[in-house]
Amino acid sequence: MSLFLCPICGAPLTREAGAYRCVGGHSYDIAREGYVHLLPANRKHSRQPGDDREMAAARTRFLSAGWYSHLLDALCAQALRYAGPAPVFLDAGCGEGYYTAGVAEALAGSGRQVRACGVDLSKFALRKAARRSPGTEFAVASVYHLPVADGAADLLLDCFAPLAAEEYRRVMKPGGVFLYVVPAPEHLMEMKSILYEETYENPEQQVEYEGFTYLNVVPAERTLHLNSREAIQDLLGMTPYAWKTPKAGLERLGQMEELTVTAAFRIHVFRRNEEA
């Protein structure tokens, strides 16, 4: 039985050769790369939602080079600290699957019987995710309408994806742990100072969400010495700055052959409250 539900009738899906099917007769073809499309047309707000081909490729190259491995290490440490012996792990907004695969592998490597799934709006990202982690289920879906049963997930990760706290509360088991990654105040400040005339730090804040209790805020910080124009452009290409920066700023960054930049994150760790 799959971790996913039918987005039309809500029945459990079964993965068969070439397709996911439910008892209601609905069927969803599995793409050649291994992911499934579970985003109904009435929730698809653009022709190609999510990251485009170029952004997904830039993120894959940059993350595969290990530049953000310190964040992955910190996420794995939290997952190993809180997950039980047989966790269900859901990555909401998984992108190209770098963190999904790393956390799932860490859990499995510790002897846990992990079941993992990831959702994202971008089929271009999921093509890479499914190839990276063939033992994980991946689906095109929205974090605001997760095709996952109530109380299914023991561990949920949101790494720079839109926050859908109410939906996360629905799909998480009471006592489960939610890891929410946001940029620290100084994240990429050196690159931002090249792109823009004026720069601002990201806000440092702790927000309480209904149904969750704060456990911790874990920093993950590293100074990166990007030593090629390609690495610099991949970092730019995987951020929103690639399409909302004035031309002059993009030209300044495009001339750079190396760049020292701060990669700083905060992992907000929550526990899903027990039911009243």
| 168 domain residue, yes or no | yes
- State the Cα–Cα distance between residues 136 and 126, nearest whole angstrom: 11
Residue 252 to residues 142, 167, 195, 268, Cα–Cα distance (Å): 36, 41, 7, 34
| 35 domain residue, yes or no | no
**Same structural domain for residues 23 and 116?**
no
Model pTM score = 0.94
For residue range 245-276, what is the model confidence (pLDDT) as tens digits? 999 999 999 999 999 999 999 999 999 998 74
**Same structural domain for residues 209 and 258?**
yes
**Same structural domain for residues 4 and 61?**
no
**Same structural domain for residues 14 and 70?**
no
Does the pLDDT at position 12 exceed 50? yes
- The domain spanning residue 193 has which CATH number? 3.40.50.150
Does the pLDDT at position 45 exceed 80? no
Instruction: Write out the H or E segment, with its range, that includes residue 221.
Output: strand 212-226
Range 165-174, long-range pairs (CB < 8 A, 24+ positions):
165/209, 165/210, 165/211, 165/212, 166/210, 167/143, 168/92, 169/209, 169/210, 169/211, 169/212, 169/272, 170/146, 171/90, 171/146, 172/272, 173/88, 173/272, 174/272, 174/273, 174/274, 174/275
pLDDT band at residue 48 under the 50/70/90 scheme? low
Residue 83's pLDDT is 97
Quick one: average pLDDT of 56-62?
95
- State the Cα–Cα distance between residues 120 and 98, nearest whole angstrom: 13
| 143 domain residue, yes or no | yes
Does the pLDDT at position 46 exceed 60? no
For the chain, what is the mean pLDDT?
A: 94
pLDDT band at residue 244 under the 50/70/90 scheme? confident
**Same structural domain for residues 107 and 13?**
no
Residue 276's pLDDT is 44
**Same structural domain for residues 25 and 45?**
no
Residue 70's pLDDT is 98
Quick one: average pLDDT of 104-129?
97
Residue 49's pLDDT is 53
For residue range 15-38, what is the model confidence (pLDDT) as tens digits? 998 999 999 999 999 999 999 999
Number of structural domains (the chain) is: 2
| 36 domain residue, yes or no | no
For residue range 158-193, what is the model confidence (pLDDT) as tens digits? 999 999 999 999 999 999 999 999 999 999 999 999
What range does the domain containing 207 cover? 41-272
**Same structural domain for residues 115 and 233?**
yes
